[in-house]
Copies of this chain bind each other. A is one copy, B any other.
Amino acid sequence: MASPRDCARELLDVIPLVMWSVRPGVRANVQRHLSMPQFGALMYLRRHEGASLSDVAGHMGLTLPSASKLIDGLVVRGLVTRETRSDDRRRVALGIAPDGRDTIRAVREATVAELSERLAAMPAADRAAVVGAMRMLRAAFAPERPGQLVRSLGGSR
């Protein structure tokens, strides 16, 4: 029991549910509101200082132009830094600006607080099980090697 397909079906049902219940909080909880993709990009850069645009695109399942535009918005807002690398001048090194660090902290704390309220109603044992499952999923979905970059989705013709 719990075949890969069973597990996939459960995930596909429940992950969007949680994702979308979080979003209004991320967007509105603070002065410095963020869209979910902006939030995700900042969270990624927080742990991967110096990442390239391709890294971000791979992590988030975006094409390169989409990632470029997303990051550009964050650079314009002064939340992310973007520099050309001296060792390979085609590539870019992304980082979090001080204001970006403040923003991610504020939004993260507000969102965690909101989420916590819903989770407080769960039995502690269930919460522990959820934490365990999240760690397994993290291992399965965020391998150390950065994700494959999607050049084009194609496929439908």
For residue A11, which residues in chain B have a CB less than 8 angstroms away from its CB? 18, 22, 115, 119, 130, 134
CA distance A129 to B27 in the complex (A): 31
Which residue of B12, B116, B133 contacts A133 across the interface (Cβ within 8 Å)? B133
The answer to whether A118 and B141 touch across the interface, beta carbons within 8 angstroms, is: yes
Given A16-B36, A108-B12, do A133 and B129 touch, yes or no (CB 8 Å)? yes
The answer to whether B28 and A155 touch across the interface, beta carbons within 8 angstroms, is: yes
Tell me how many chains of this kind the complex includes.
Answer: 2
The answer to whether A122 and B138 touch across the interface, beta carbons within 8 angstroms, is: no
CB distance from A16 to the nearest CB of B (A): 5
The answer to whether B61 and A29 touch across the interface, beta carbons within 8 angstroms, is: no
The answer to whether A4 and B40 touch across the interface, beta carbons within 8 angstroms, is: no
Closest 3 CB pairs of A and B: A133-B133, A28-B153, A8-B115
Q: Known pairs A2-B128, A8-B115, A21-B141; list 19 more (Cβ under 8 Å).
A: A1-B128, A2-B124, A2-B130, A6-B131, A7-B119, A7-B122, A8-B112, A11-B115, A14-B135, A14-B141, A17-B138, A20-B59, A20-B61, A21-B147, A22-B61, A24-B61, A31-B156, A119-B140, A121-B140
